[in-house]
């Protein structure tokens, strides 16, 4: 059986995907970074990058990876060094005991399972968060980390676009 795992539209070569809950303090770092990065992107590059955000990473996001040349994941992190860390996740099976969490590595594994091919090169931007209480705004420390991460993320987009277009 050949299932239709193609994107509904022509995929932009770059995908920037961030996730987190806007109502839980520093958990908003992922979507906030996506929104700010999109605002900073020069207009003539809009069709080269697709920006997505969600509350949690889940298996259907594997469909969003189809047809990409590179992917940037963005999430808040409790364990990375401040202000941010950059990693290169590889496909790996999830060992969670709940459906309520999915790691970037597990998502890449899902892509491999369903597509039968390697996923696009993925980079993970982990931004240090400190406080995740429901109903709280983003902490001052996290906002500072976000600003530092934004500069790096914009440079990543521009560099990656340059190399992918050539």
Residues at the interface with another protein (CB under 8 A): 1, 3-5, 19-24, 26-27, 54-60, 62-63, 75-80, 92-103, 105, 110, 113-114, 124, 126, 129, 132-135
> By C-beta, is 103 or 160 nearer to another protein?
103
Task: Please give the C-alpha separations between residue 84 and each of 20, 32, 75, 81, in angstroms, as whole numbers.
Answer: 16, 14, 10, 6
> By C-beta, is 4 or 166 nearer to another protein?
4
Closest approach of another protein to the CB of residue 83, in Å: 14
Task: Please give the C-alpha separations between residue 162 and each of 47, 58, 60, 91, 127, in angstroms, as whole numbers.
Answer: 14, 30, 29, 26, 25
Q: Please provide residue 81's backbone torsions phi and psi, each rounded to the nearest 5 degrees.
A: -75, 150
> By C-beta, is 59 or 141 nearer to another protein?
59
Report which of 48, 60, 35 is spatially closest to residue 150, judged by C-alpha positions: 35
> By C-beta, is 13 or 30 nearer to another protein?
30
Q: Which two tokens stand for residue 104?
A: 């970037």
Closest approach of another protein to the CB of residue 38, in Å: 17
Q: Which residues, other chains included, contact 132 with Cβ-Cβ below 8 Å and sequence gap of 6+?
A: 24, 25, 26, 27, 76, 78
Closest approach of another protein to the CB of residue 30, in Å: 9
Residue 19, strand partner residues: 54, 75
Closest approach of another protein to the CB of residue 153, in Å: 16
Closest approach of another protein to the CB of residue 161, in Å: 25
> By C-beta, is 56 or 69 nearer to another protein?
56
List strand residue ranges (DSSP E) for the chain, in order: 14-19, 49-54, 70-77, 84-87, 122-128
């Amino acid at each position: 059986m050949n299932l239709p795992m193609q994107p509904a539209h022509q995929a932009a070569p770059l995908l920037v995907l961030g996730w987190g809950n806007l109502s839980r303090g520093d958990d908003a770092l992922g979507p906030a970074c996506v929104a700010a990065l999109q605002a900073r992107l020069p207009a003539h590059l809009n069709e080269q990058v697709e920006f997505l955000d969600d509350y949690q990473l889940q298996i259907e996001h594997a469909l969003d990876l189809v047809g990409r040349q590179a992917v940037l994941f963005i999430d808040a992190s409790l364990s990375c060094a401040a202000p941010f860390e950059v990693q290169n996740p590889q496909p790996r099976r999830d060992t969670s005991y709940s459906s309520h969490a999915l790691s970037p590595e597990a998502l890449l594994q899902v892509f491999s399972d369903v597509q039968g091919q390697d996923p696009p090169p993925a980079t993970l931007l982990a931004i240090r968060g400190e406080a995740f209480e429901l109903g709280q705004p983003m902490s001052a420390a996290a906002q500072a980390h976000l600003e530092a991460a934004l500069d790096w993320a914009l440079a990543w987009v521009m560099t990656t676009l340059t190399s992918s277009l050539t």
